[in-house]
Amino acid sequence: MTASGTPASTGPASVPHLDVDPFDMAFFADPYPTHQRLREAGPVVYLDRWNVYGVARYAEVHAVLNDPATFCSSRGVGLSDFKKETPWRPPSLILEADPPAHTRTRAVLSKVLSPTVMKQVRDRFAAAAEERVDALLDQRSFDAITDLAEAYPLSIFPDALGLKPEGREHLIPYASVVFNAFGPPNELRQQAIARSSPHQAYVAEQCQRDNLAPGGFGACIHAQADAGAITATEAPLLVRSLLSAGLDTTVNGIGAAVYCLARFPEQWQRLRDDLTLARNAFEEAVRFESPVQTFFRTTTREVELSGATIGEGEKVLMFLAAANRDPRRWDQPDSYDITRRTSGHVGFGSGIHMCVGQLVARLEGEVMLTALARRIARIEITGEPKRRFNNTLRGLDSLPVTITPA
Ligand code: 4IA
């Protein structure tokens, strides 16, 4: 059954049907009441608007993520089923793949983004964070999204990849297309894809071996082709994964952390009193805001999930953000608490597909929050935060702040 062809009145009788659209502007503006409705309606629900199953409780989101043989990724992790529709771009060799194909590409990116590699880039990432904070202290009043959450990753990640300076303005718009494209065929997705050609052309070109500086993440991926781990044809597509997933995610993760710390001054004070909390303050922001809000899987067979029977070839929408605030799993889920035991949150996913770049994200978050907390006494929000609307990513377009030096 396709989203376009099925009357809303049909579908599975055994699960609650909801008429909510988790991809419309009203939902994005305030998803929390709907997240609660989704969790309370039952362990598995059916969303008539898009003809998909949904899971919003922690237990079911975790279960789906950890059964990749039944809930596969190779038919796409957006609404579109690659078995029925042509993908908007060639599928990712890691995100949109299942074992055994996934196992091989995953091993390559794991090696390229390993703890050893993090040790090599750490001092550079930390120095750049200090430099960014220097500039912000000169400004005093600035936009925490453009001047901090975007400016910092842009000052390190493209260089770490080995990209040339020209054309980097395509990176965030390209990622924005990627994340909108996981959603349903609404205005956001259709407009994003319609305008994607220049961004796609830029990205395809930068993935080529000759365009990636020696020593960078990109060159390391191509070196894995020499070692026989992947083919020379696969290497550019794996570089594309870093360009797709490596920048806008950390922009929204750092943006989330700053937005949390600006709204909850007592947490900011705790961080200032103990800078070793920086890494967990970032992790808690990923749980609390869940920059990546949702993802789909597709069933490979009929399956029973918490009493609901789901047929083969059905899309299942996982509400990562709702699972990360499920009161069945978390104490005071709606509090931002930098000393919380955050492990087990699904903001980076879970299981075999869990974020392969998580060490890069955590490194950026940790060194930036450390640099901020060391030198800034107060962060005040001085204007209306403006939301950025995307089918998958949650974050702000603008967050006007004024800082007071320590
Ligand atoms: C890829 C889930 C998100 C962070 C993501 C987006 C794109 C890709 C991977 C992950 O293109 O491989």
Provide the domain limits for residue 237. Answer: 17-405
Give the Å distance between the CA of 49 and the centre of ligand 1: 25
Contact assessment for residue 4 and residue 53, using Cβ atoms and an 8 Å cutoff: no
Give the Å distance between the CA of 327 and the centre of ligand 1: 28
Has residue 16 got a pLDDT over 60?
Answer: yes
Q: Is position 135 within any domain?
A: yes
pLDDT at 6: 37
Q: Is position 118 within any domain?
A: yes
Q: Is position 183 within any domain?
A: yes
- The string of pLDDT tens digits covering residues 247-257 is 999 999 999 99
Helix (H, G, I), strand (E, B) or coil at 94: coil
Q: Which are the contacts of 74, defined by CB distance < 8 A and separation ≥ 6?
A: 82, 91, 96, 97, 98, 101
Sign of the dihedral through C-alpha 245, 246, 248, 252: positive
Q: Quick one: average pLDDT of 180-191?
A: 98
- The string of pLDDT tens digits covering residues 69-78 is 999 999 999 9
Q: Is position 72 within any domain?
A: yes
Alpha-carbon distance of 288 to 380, in angstroms, equals: 20
Q: Quick one: average pLDDT of 60-68?
A: 99
CATH at residue 197? 1.10.630.10
Task: Round to the nearest angstrom and report the end-to-end CA distance of the chain.
Answer: 60
pLDDT at 10: 56
Residue nearest to atom 1 of ligand 1 (CA): 241
Residue nearest to atom 2 of ligand 1 (CA): 245
Q: Is the entire prediction scored with pTM above 0.75? A: yes
Q: Is position 2 within any domain?
A: no
Strands 71-72, 141-143: pairing is unpaired
Q: Is position 8 within any domain?
A: no
Amino acid at 330: W
Residue nearest to atom 4 of ligand 1 (CA): 245
Overall number of domains in the chain: 1
pLDDT at 12: 83
Q: Is position 7 within any domain?
A: no
Q: Is position 12 within any domain?
A: no
Where does 147-194 have alpha helices with state H? 151-161, 171-181, 187-194
Alpha-carbon distance of 29 to 132, in angstroms, equals: 30
